[in-house]
Amino acid sequence: MTHPCDLSIAEAGQALRNGRFTAVELAQAYLDRIEQQNDRLYAFIDVDPEAVLNQARLADARLAEGECDHLPLLGIPIALKDVFDVAGSVTSCGSHVQDGQTATDDAVLVQRLQAAGAVLLGKVATYEFALTGPAFDQPNPPPRNPWNPDHITGGSSSGSAAAVAGGLVRCALGTDTGGSVRSPASYCGIVGLKPTYERLSRQGVFPLSDSLDHIGPLAACVADAALCFDAFAEPADAPAASQLLGQSLAGLRLGYGRDWFADDPAVDPQAVTAMDAAASQLSLLEARIEPVDLPDYDLFEAVGTVILQAEALAVHKKTLGTLPERYGRAALRNLITGAVLSPEHLAAARAMQQRLSDQMDEVLNRVDALITLTTLTPAPAFAAFTDGQPVWTPMRTFPFNLTGHPALTVPIGFSNGLPLGMQIIGKRNDEARLCQIGHAFEQSTDHSVVKPNL
């Protein structure tokens, strides 16, 4: 019999409705997993078992009253990246700067999570202020990759990815400013959905870069990610991400952005092979694969870096002046680089951002979706991150924070035992199409069913 924690959200919901187990029993199963595995993964930083079980008891009462038909997350445990405010608890953002900063109100998405009847399992780790790579001068040790604990999970939704990949939760909410949902999902062999800009509320979530920040689910499978997104998305009457799951890909035109990675000297050859195989598999599913020329990736990264650094400095300017000693070394170095940017630099970057967005719209107007690699390599080793020095991790995620287009990453294979991911990009508000494609690919391969040996 399948362990309750290994059921999909839909399967667990059906089991709750059928009385196979209660929400309390499901929550306890997850708490047991966390107790058994978290000392190795460092994913969860704040778990209150009694509060979790109290929420589960409320969910059981609602299930008994018959509320379950319109609430697919009722009784389902969900985790939150530690940048979301939960009233009465500290939003530490992985930084000593936030010591004692207790939230007075719930983030909007936490309120929606509660209204949906989901069980808040706890908070998971993030790199300091969602800024930097792994460091050891933060309040919590950086999470470990369940596939190989000597390797990172990716940032900054590091705990979210480790928790899902390690089987400690089916879905965790993260944030994505330059790829921080998609790159850790790719590195950990799970699904990550960065929705269209502002489809998920950012109110009550500590900001990094207001014009680039997105909220998104990291999940064990595409259907789980779609269900979580649908429970929280705005506006409520917009197309559901789950509405096309199971539909054929016949006739869909998928632009293949192969030039973005194939000849890059940083790319892992196994990643090129895996991505070409994924494109071939989509062709076997009757999608039409068409090579496309995408705008210059390096220009996206340069423009995005200017905007991110300028906006991040604005967020932290006051505390940098009053509490500089509480910042970690890497975070402090990262933030102060924004001080060299002038208003003219930012204005030029925003103008180029619009031009690049228009160019990406033109490409997407010719196809139903795009496909390309998520990251050019599997997860780097911790050994690469020493003394707070920055380490460049080659990804292909940043452009879609600038343009606001939705993007989904799904597993496509391995290199040296570490996962690789494919990124699927769609038109604005077309999360349903991405999930349709990702789900069809997932169901036709075994990449998502292979789990780390914990």
Catalytically active residues are: 81, 156, 180
Task: Report in angstroms the alpha-carbon separations of 337 from 128, 307, 393, 397.
Answer: 16, 12, 19, 22
Tokens of 216: 């998104």
Task: Report in angstroms the alpha-carbon separations of 201 from 67, 140, 214, 409.
Answer: 25, 27, 9, 21
Sign of CA dihedral 111, 113, 115, 121: negative
Letter for the amino acid at 346?
A: L
Residue 47: phi and psi, rounded to 5, are -130, 125
Residue 190: phi and psi, rounded to 5, are -125, -170
| CB 218, CB 159: distance < 8 Å | no
Residue 89: phi and psi, rounded to 5, are -120, 160
DSSP 267: S
Letter for the amino acid at 389?
A: Q
Letter for the amino acid at 158?
A: S
- For residue 222, the surrounding DSSP H or E stretch is helix 222-232
Residue 304's closest CA among 317, 293, 295, 316?
295
Task: Report in angstroms the alpha-carbon separations of 225 from 71, 164, 261, 436.
Answer: 15, 11, 26, 12
Classified as helix, coil or strand, 238 is coil
